[in-house]
Structure 1
Amino acid sequence: MRLDDVLPEWHFRERHTIEIDAYADTVFRAIEELTWREVPTFRRLMVLRFAGRDRAVDTRILASMTKDGFTVLDRSDNELVVGMISTRLPARPVPLAGELPADAVRAFDAPGHLKIVFNFLRRGSTVTTETRVWATDERSRRIFQAYWALIRPPSGVIRRAWLRAIRERAENEPVFL
């Protein structure tokens, strides 16, 4: 299920793109295996966000995000979709029930929550990451809007650093023919 299927509408959105000269499976392996050590800017900003809790530098970023409440919603040959449902600020993940978490995110509509979904999409040599947020009620949207104004600039720095690190890893992976 693609990002457009899980969260076709959003209140907040951020999108970043990079060119990566590597095979699709190499790119997605880089996305899944990238560690905090490879993206020090990302790690430093996340330490600030999580009130000083540092991540083990050799921990995989995606794995640590799934420990913190995100769920891999879908994985295809050219797209990885990750998301969560959270209470509005302060954010607390809501467990996703059922066998199809993407359907659970799409259908969820209880007031006082945020649907936060992001992806990595590869088309040709272009790799895009997009983040979308949907607030389930007007109060949650207004509260998140103030937070978004604060976090969007550092979030952009994080996403661009993350994409550069993915490119570095993918383009430098040995190719065996």
Structure 2
Amino acid sequence: MTSGHGPGLEDLMPSWHWRSRHTLILERPPDAVFTMIGELVVAELPTAVRHGQRRPQVRVLDNYLRQGFRLFTEERPVGYLLGRIGRFWNRYERHVAPETARNDPAWFARFAEPGFAKAALGITCLPVDGGAATLLVAETRIVATDAHTREEFNRHWLVGSLANPHAQQELLRAVHHRLAA
């Protein structure tokens, strides 16, 4: 986060093997955008709408937590910081996390057990135009813990994955659509 209160994406993962970053300028103040992101539900995501998936009670942030992400920072109106460790490229072990996993951002940053990848997701609301508008930034960074894992995950990244650009684009489109409604 940019305010210095909680750990930021730079603290959690200063270097990475894969990165995806998407931005959107919204004509709403950061606090309103922050609230909107927290209220966004899975059924509002464009993919869910196209496929008729209706689970209005499941917030997008809760869905990330169900997938194994840990919420490290929720700082109004700055944004959210989440992290996940797993084997995202492996269909059968996608949600496998190390047994030692903790809800501690410092532990996450230090984790280096071979055979895993770490994904950090930052959703940041930056004020523009004196705070009348918001630059919404959704960025995912992923680092593999060893060379073999990096090769394995690289094939997955090229084909597509949960933590790739599509998830961020979906989030930004849903926020934009909600504002337009």
Q: Normalized against structure 2, the TM-score is what?
A: 0.78
- The offset of 1:170, in angstroms, is 5.2
1:169 alignment partner AA: R
Over 4 Å off, 4+ runs: 42-45
| 2:115 is the counterpart of 1:89 | no
- Structure with bigger helix share is 1
Q: Distance between the aligned counterparts of 1:55 and 1:92, measured in 2?
A: 23
Q: Distance between the aligned counterparts of 1:87 and 1:112, measured in 2?
A: 7
1:134–1:157 Cα change, 3 Å: closer
Contact kept? 1:42, 1:162, Cα under 8 Å: no
1:43–1:8 Cα change, 3 Å: farther
Matches within 5 A, 1:89-128: 89-90=89-90, 91-94=94-97, 96-97=101-102, 101-124=104-127, 125-128=134-137
SS at structure 1 position matched to 2:160: helix
- The offset of 1:167, in angstroms, is 3.1
Matches within 5 A, 1:142-157: 142-151=151-160, 155-157=164-166
| 2:165 is the counterpart of 1:163 | no
SS at structure 2 position matched to 1:69: coil
Q: Could you say which residue in structure 1 is the equivalent of 2:3?
A: none
Q: Could you say which residue in structure 1 is the equivalent of 2:130?
A: none
* Gaps in structure 1 of 5+ consecutive residues: 48-53, 173-177
Q: Normalized against structure 1, the TM-score is what?
A: 0.80
Query: Which deviates more from structure 2 when the two are superposed, residues 112-121 or residues 17-26?
Result: 17-26
**What is the identity percentage for the equivalent residue pairs of Structure 1 and Structure 2?**
27
2:158 alignment partner AA: A
Matches within 5 A, 1:122-141: 122-124=125-127, 125-141=134-150
Q: Deviations over 1:66-125 (max 9, x none)?
A: 02211111122313111111135322242632xx52112101011001101111112222
1:42–1:162 Cα change, 3 Å: farther
* Gaps in structure 2 of 5+ consecutive residues: 1-6, 128-133
Contact kept? 2:82, 2:122, Cα under 8 Å: yes
